[in-house]
Homo-oligomer: A and B are copies of this chain.
Amino acid sequence: MKQSFSKRSTMTEIAAKAGVSIPTVSRVLHQRPDVAPETRKRVEQLLEEHGLLQRHAKKLSRKEHSGIVDMLFPGFDSMYSFEIARGVEEVLARTDRRLAISSTHHSLELEQHWMSKIQHSPSDGAILVLAHGEPRRFDPLHRHNIPFVVVDHAGELGLDTPSVGATNWLGGRTATEYLISLGHRRIAVITGPTTLPCSQDRVAGYRVALEAAGLPVRPDYICQGNFSPDSGYTQTNALLDLPEPPTAIFAGCDEQANGVYRALRDRGLRIPDDMSVIGFDDVPTASIVTPDLTTIRQPLREMGRVATTMLLHLINGEPLDSIRVELTTNLIVRNSCKPLDDEK
């Protein structure tokens, strides 16, 4: 049973044992049709026993695919990444490919290091999360004919780059409309990084909703943040220090909303009584904070699944139904928003 270290057998050896010529062995190994059934059976048996069959299969599969799909994140610092990865894994688990995950740790240098790793132990394809769209950064992938799909791109994306996102504009509008429907008139937004289309789009939706309701778009109510809780904390404090603070805050994402919560709590303000808060994403934490967070659900797992399905099509050389897919967002009402009291 343990013959793993015996020297590897050759076709010559098999031929001798089977009492046939070397070309015949070669034919059986390559599944050519013109071999007598019994000869084939005998030779196949020997090939199997001596591990030649396995060796050959391995060599073949290495030629057509490495068996690895890569996934690159800017960082592993949020549930956001985790949720997308879960979706990818779900699809991949049903295939014979494995999922390799990497993070650039927000460093361009590490991104390049990853690109060079790819060349040494190649990839069937890659899913790039929040990748910067500058075309030349994808050059190594093009050069090695590695197909890829971008999820939630950063910056501009070439027209020929397959990508998946969510309806961020609609989500931003829906969140704002909901707050307006509750009677709020002074609604602030804390943005994500302004380089990201997803956060730009959310703010654009916010503006449209305000304008449609005939409400002013106040620059002091649009605060630049990023997706971190800390930025939520800082900007909420800034908003509260305004001569006329808002009555509702639309956070850039759920994680940032945690910082908003903390800032409000530190000032002794209650949610939703003193301030309505709405998030974006609907990651698992949204439903365990107190009060549980009303938010715009972004289907991260589904985005991971769709991106993977697209990638598998590309890998198989099949055409894509659409080069750009946006999945729908929707409002999840919980307990962090409240109708504005009339007397207020």
Residues of A within 8 A of B (CB): 4, 57-58, 61-62, 66-68, 70, 76, 82, 85-86, 89, 93, 96, 98-103, 105, 110, 117, 120-121, 143, 145, 229, 258, 261, 265, 285, 288-290
With contact pairs A67-B120, A102-B98, A121-B66 given, residues A86 and B93 touching in the complex (Cβ less than 8 Å): no
Query: With A120-B61, A289-B289 given, is the CB distance from A99 to B98 under 8 Å?
Result: no
User: Which among B67, B96, B98, B117 is the interface contact of A96 at CB below 8 angstroms?
Assistant: B117
Q: Is the CB of B4 within 8 A of A117?
A: no
Contacts of A143 in B (CB 8 A): 4
* Dominant secondary structure at the A interface: mixed
Residues of B within 8 A of A288 (CB): 229, 258, 261, 285, 288-289
* Chain B residues within an 8 Å CB radius of A229: 288
Chain B min CB distance to A268 (Å) = 14
- What CA separation (Å) do A162 and B289 show in the bound complex? 38
Q: Are B67 and A117 in contact (CB under 8 A)?
A: yes
Given contacts A121-B66, A121-B67, A143-B4, contact A99 B102 (CB under 8 A): yes
**Chain B residues, CB < 8 A from A70:** 98
| Residue on B nearest A144 in the bound complex, by CB | B4
Smallest CB gap from A102: residue in B: B98
A4 touches B58 (CB 8 A): no
Per the bound structure, the CA–CA distance linking A254 and B102 in Å amounts to: 27
A121–B100 contact, CB under 8 A?
no
Closest to A229 in B: B288
A-B contact pairs, 18 of them (CB 8 A): A4-B143, A4-B145, A61-B120, A62-B121, A66-B121, A67-B117, A68-B68, A76-B82, A76-B89, A82-B82, A89-B101, A93-B102, A93-B110, A100-B100, A100-B101, A229-B288, A261-B288, A290-B290
Q: Take A61-B121, A120-B61 as given contacts and tell me if A100 and B68 are in contact as well, using a CB distance cutoff of 8 Å.
A: yes
Determine whether the beta carbon of A117 is less than 8 Å from that of B105: no
Residue of B nearest to A120 (CB): B61
- Given A86-B76, A98-B102, A101-B101, A120:B58 Cβ within 8 A: yes
How far is it, in angstroms, between the C-alpha of A289 and the C-alpha of B286 when the chains are bound?
10
A85 touches B76 (CB 8 A): yes
Report the bound CA distance from A86 to B101 in whole Å.
Answer: 10
